C-alpha cells in the first residue's frame, strides 16, 4: 500500500503541476497573444452586432504581460480604420473595468473637425471604408455631431488616437470623452468567429 500511496501522491503532484502550467500558459496567451471577446453594445453596427463573438490580436501593436498596464514594448501603432479594443480614458468616470471597441479615425497630430455631421481629418473628409468593410457597405464617414465638446478644430494629442463607433448616431466615443491613450489599447479586433445570429449570420463570419 505504501508503494501505491507514493505513486498516487506523485500522480497527484504531476497532475497539479500540469494543470497549473496549463492555466499559466492560458493566462499568458490571453494577455499577450489573442483574446476572445463578446460585443455587448450596438455602437459598432453594422460592422459588429451586439452579441457577436470576436477575436482580438493582442500582439498586433506590442508586447503585453498579465497584470501589467499598457504594453512593455510597442512595435507598431494603430492605423486609421483599425477596430481596436481598449479601456476607457480617465475622462470617462465610472467605466473602470469595462472594455470598449471602436474604430480609429485619427492619429496623433491629426486635426479633427466636425461640420454639418461630417467628420474631417486634416481638412479632408474622412477616408472611405477599407476594402473589407466596403464589401459590406460599412464605415460611413457621416457622423452625428453629438459631442458636448467643440466640433473642432481639435488636434489629437501625442500618445493618443481618436476613436468613434461605426453606429455614429448611437455611440459614446471620442466625440464625448476625447482621444484614447495608446497605453489603454488592448489589441486589434481581427475577425468575427461566431455571429450574434448564429448560423443565420454565417455570411458575417470572417476578417474585419
Please list, residue by residue across 98-110, b when 16 or more beta carbons sit within 10 angstroms of its beta carbon and e when fewer do. Answer: eebbbbbbbbeeb
Residue 201 Cα distances to 6, 42, 131, 134, angstroms: 54, 16, 20, 18
> 182, 161 in Cβ contact below 8 A?
yes
**In 3-state terms, what secondary structure has residue 119?**
strand
In angstroms, rounded to a whole number, what is the distance separating the alpha carbons of residues 148 and 150?
Answer: 7
Other C-beta atoms lying within 10 Å of the C-beta of residue 10:
10
- Integer Cα distance of 161 and 104 in angstroms: 7
Active site (catalytic) residues: 43, 102
Instruction: Compute the distance between CA of residue 124 and CA of residue 20 in angstroms, rounded to an integer.
Output: 54
Cell of 40: 455587448
Amino acid at each position: 500500500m505504501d508503494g501505491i500511496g507514493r505513486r498516487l501522491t506523485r500522480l497527484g503532484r504531476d497532475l497539479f503541476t500540469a494543470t497549473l502550467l496549463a492555466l499559466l500558459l492560458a493566462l499568458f496567451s490571453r494577455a499577450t497573444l489573442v483574446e476572445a471577446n463578446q460585443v455587448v453594445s450596438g455602437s459598432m453596427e453594422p460592422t459588429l452586432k451586439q452579441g457577436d463573438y470576436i477575436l482580438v490580436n493582442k500582439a498586433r501593436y506590442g508586447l503585453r504581460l498579465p497584470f501589467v498596464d499598457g504594453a512593455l514594448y510597442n512595435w507598431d501603432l494603430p492605423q486609421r480604420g483599425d477596430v481596436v479594443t481598449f479601456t476607457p480614458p480617465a475622462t470617462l468616470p465610472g467605466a473602470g473595468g469595462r472594455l470598449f471597441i471602436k474604430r480609429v479615425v485619427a492619429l496623433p497630430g491629426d486635426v479633427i473637425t466636425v461640420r454639418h455631421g461630417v467628420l474631417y481629418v486634416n481638412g479632408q473628409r474622412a477616408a472611405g471604408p477599407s476594402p473589407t468593410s466596403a464589401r459590406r457597405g460599412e464605415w460611413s464617414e457621416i457622423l452625428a455631431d453629438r459631442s458636448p465638446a467643440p466640433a473642432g478644430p481639435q488636434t489629437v494629442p501625442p500618445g493618443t488616437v481618436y476613436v468613434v463607433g461605426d453606429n455614429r448616431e448611437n455611440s459614446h466615443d471620442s466625440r464625448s470623452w476625447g482621444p484614447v491613450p495608446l497605453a489603454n489599447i488592448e489589441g486589434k479586433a481581427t475577425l468575427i468567429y461566431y455571429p450574434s445570429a448564429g448560423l443565420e449570420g454565417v455570411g458575417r463570419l470572417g476578417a474585419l
